[in-house]
Amino acid sequence: MKTVPRTVQHSRVGVVAALFAAFGIGPIGPLINLGPIDLTPAFLAAQEVPRTLSLEGAIEIARANNPQIARARNDEVTADWLVREAYGSLMPSASVNGGVSWQGSGETQLGGQITLGDLGITDQPSYYGSSYSLGLNYNLSWATLLGPRQQNASRQVTLAGIQSTEWAIVTQVTSGYIDVWRQQESVRIAQLQLENADFNLRLAQGQLEVGQVTPIDVGQAEVQVGRAEVALLQAQNALTTTRMRLLQLLGVPIDQTFEVSTRFELSPPTWDTETLTDVALEENPDLKTSRLNRTASSVAVSSAWSPYLPTLSLGAGWSGFTREASSVDLRLAQAQSQVASTIRQCVQTNDLYARLADPLPPIDCGQFAFTDEQRAAIIDQNSQFPFNFIGSPPSLRLTLSIPIFQGFSRQRGLEQARVQEADVRETIREQELSVTADVAIGLENARTAYESAQLEERNRVLAQQQLDLARERYQLGAITFVELVDAQTLFAQAEVDRAQAVYTYHDSVTNLEALIGASLRFQD
């Protein structure tokens, strides 16, 4: 960040010095390159403002409590996770699945009208089952490779938006702080008008006692006092509501009292237009955000080429399952039946061997008997649920996809990205033209406001002299009370015009500083 060079700065002990000397945070950097802010715990916890509130304190409270700043800072969390997600897409994805199942007892339909009962398998038990699978997938494309770069560019845009929001709130707080001073000046002028009206009333009463005027003059003086009281009441109300608006902008309860302490005074604006323009073109928050948008849009154009390029996919998987019957009686019965059938065949074979002319030796049929070991093996084989699974062979897959023709959607997406990039470039050019013109206009406004304030101060002095002369002449009976009231009205209007010119200057300087995005305060 940069600040306006010393050669074009001026010792504006008034508004410029007050606007930024109270910051105490450097010429420009902390206002634009905003990071974590260490605030007084009382501001954060109790959300209270001190009895004497400086401009620096008001800005710090706003940074801690203003809802608009808080919402903008929340966007950084989303942007950070989008960057992490983009880097995560460069890594393979893995999944693990598992499940259990249960099938009740009864006949199972094999298809159509056939059941296991039709095949002679009856008294089916219920079954418990479980399944497991592990999958690994990896996809790589040009858009995936550019993802981290694109999200990092978008994150920079988000951070610039946050900084722009904070700078805008700083400007609003400064304007609100100046407005409190403006309304306090209006109250002072209203009080002065009331004091002058009271003085005129006493003067008219004194003149009435010596017979110099009629009671009409006293009545007119009383009316003037009443109008001054109304003006004072309205000015006090405007001051109260302005304080509330400032507290609302700070993001704190509005039922608090405080006194502003940072003062603003006049000093001639002697900055150079060319130098201020150079600073504004470099530091203007909105312009910086647009330039970062241009970087992000350039990456988007590169990413839009992805549909024209190959995509690589890699996958690996493994699975297993279990199936356990709630009862092994059926399987035991089937095994025993099979053994009995084998023994019968053995007996028949031995009988056939015995009938031969040359009998063969008989087979030992006892070897086919159903043993306890076979029973135990059947029971153990059924004990699978839930983790004694049977694994399926692992699988591996590699795919290279080369797009050939997808209609005109790819070209439409590419052209759309190019158009968006061109729009951003034109937006930047438009903003640069606007900033250049606004800086020149803002500087001229500041110079004009300063000269106007000087002239209005001279007019106020002349009006004061005319009022003093009118009072002396009224005491001598040389003029009527109406002429005295006219002089009083002229002086009151001169006070109002002077105050308006002074704070118009303060507003123009604040707007100029907000536009260039840099501090204009005087440096010793």
Q: What is the pLDDT of residue 109?
A: 59
Q: What is the CATH number of the domain that holds 443?
A: 1.20.1600.10
H or E element at residue 397: strand 395-401
318 in Cβ contact with 134 (< 8 Å): yes
Domain that holds residue 227: 6-84+145-309+407-516
Q: 97 and 80, same structural domain?
A: no
One domain, residues 30 and 59 = yes
Partners of 129 in the beta sheet? 101, 323
Q: What pLDDT is stored for residue 121 in this prediction?
A: 57
Tokens at 110, concatenated: 């094999």
Q: What is the pLDDT of residue 204?
A: 81
In a domain, 400, yes or no: no
Tally of CB atoms within 10 A around 96: 8
Domain stops at, among 336, 360, 391: 391
d(CA 459, CA 493): 10
Tell me, yes or no, whether 417 and 270 share the same domain. yes
- Which residues, listed in sequence order, are joined to residue 101 by a DSSP beta bridge? 129
Burial of 305 (0-12, 13-18, 19+ CB in 10 A): middle
According to DSSP, residue 321 is labeled E
467 and 338 within one domain: no
The token pair that represents 406 in the structure block: 């997808």
Of 494, 510, 493, 522, the residue nearest 445 (C-alpha)? 510
In a domain, 162, yes or no: yes
79 and 162 share one domain: yes
- 314 in a structural domain: no
Positions of the chain with pLDDT under 70: 1-46, 106-123, 213, 519, 521-524
**Cα-to-chain-centroid distance, residue 18:** 30
Q: How many helices (H) and strands (E) does the chain have?
A: 13, 9
Residues 259 and 362 reside in one and the same domain: no
Q: Last residue of some domain: 344, 359, 391?
A: 391
3-state secondary structure of 133: strand
Alpha-helical runs (H) found in 95-141: none
Does some domain include residue 396?
Answer: no
Q: For residue 62, which of 313, 257, 248 has the smallest C-alpha distance?
A: 248
Task: Please state whether 142 falls in left (phi above 0), alpha (psi between -120 and 50) or beta.
Answer: alpha
Whether residue 33 is found in the same domain as residue 120: no
| Alpha carbon distance 181, 262 (integer Å) | 9
Domain-located, residue 402: no
- Render the burial of 45-71: b for 16+ CB within 10 Å, e for the rest: eebebbeebbbbbbbbbbbbbbeebee
In angstroms, the CA 368 to CA 343 distance is 6
Residue 368 lies in a domain: yes
Residues 216-254 pLDDT 10s: 888 888 888 899 899 999 999 999 999 999 999 999 999
Q: Rounded to an integer, what distance in angstroms lies between the CA atom of residue 60 and that of residue 55?
A: 9
Phi-psi region of 465 (alpha: psi -120 to 50; beta: other; left: phi over 0): alpha
3-state helix, strand, coil in the chain (%, to 5): 65, 10, 25
CB–CB of 446/510 below 8 Å? no
Query: At which of 365, 391, 417 does a domain end?
Result: 391
206 shares its domain with 288: yes
Note if the bond before 307 is cis, omega within 30 degrees.
no
What is the pTM for the complete model shown?
Answer: 0.71
Choose among 198, 193, 185: nearest CA to 238: 185
Taking each helix axis from N to C end, the angle separating 285-303 and 409-475, rounded to the nearest 10 degrees, works out to 170
Please indicate, yes or no, whether residues 76 and 96 belong to a single structural domain of this protein: no
Q: How many structural domains compose the chain?
A: 2
**Strand ranges (DSSP E) for 87-200?**
93-103, 109-111, 114-115, 127-140
- Mark whether 443 and 511 lie in a shared domain: yes
H runs (alpha helix) in 392-480: 409-475
Q: Of 107, 15, 5, 51, which Cα lies nearest the Cα of 509? A: 15
Please indicate, yes or no, if residue 401 is contained in any of the structural domains: no
Backbone phi and psi for residue 103, each to the nearest 5 degrees, phi listed first: -125, 125
Give dist(CA 126, CA 326) in Å, integer: 5
Residues 212 and 75 in one domain: yes
Cα 477 from Cα 475, distance rounded (Å): 5
Both 149 and 292 in one domain: the answer is yes
What's residue 300's pLDDT?
A: 92
In a domain, 366, yes or no: yes
- Which of the 8 DSSP states describes residue 326? S
Per the DSSP assignment, residues forming a β-bridge with 130 are 100, 322
